[in-house]
Amino acid sequence: GQQVMQIPQYQHVQEGEDFTTYCNSSTTLSNIQWYKQRPGGHPVFLIQLVKSGEVKKQKRLTFQFGEAKKNSSLHITATQTTDVGTYFCGSNFGNEKLTFGTGTRLTIIP
């Protein structure tokens, strides 16, 4: 079936270090969406990428969509304690349902 693989499952970083999570698919993606879920909270939409090679930035967050539209990454520069949470990627594979990756849980060591 259509799946989005996300790695790593967990990441522990010292505050101030960078963090990256990756999503990969065996099939071409029509789009990629990224969500953040704070501990005890619900997923909140961050961004959507649709174009091959697209790069978008939100302050310290950089989102990339691969040239082949089969992978994506989220990079956080100089992590802060407010970045703690689980980051999910998802794609609809051209249909009406959004399929998510398993998520990357980020913890920050002060």
- Are 98 and 88 contacting, i.e. CB atoms less than 8 angstroms apart? no
Span of 13-21, 50-58, 61-69, 95-103 interacting with other proteins by CB under 8 A: 95-103
**Residues in binding contact with other proteins, number by CB under 8 A:** 25
**Which residue is associated with the tokens 């961050």?**
46
- Does residue 87 bind other proteins (CB under 8 A)? no
| Residues listed for the chain | 110
Q: Is 103 in the site for other proteins (CB under 8 A)?
A: yes
CB closer to other proteins, 32 vs 76:
32
CB atoms within 10 A of CB 30: 12
Query: Measured in Å, how far apart are the chain's first and last C-alpha atoms?
Result: 40
Residues near other proteins, by CB under 8 A: 1, 6, 9, 31, 33, 35, 41-45, 48, 88, 90, 92, 94-103
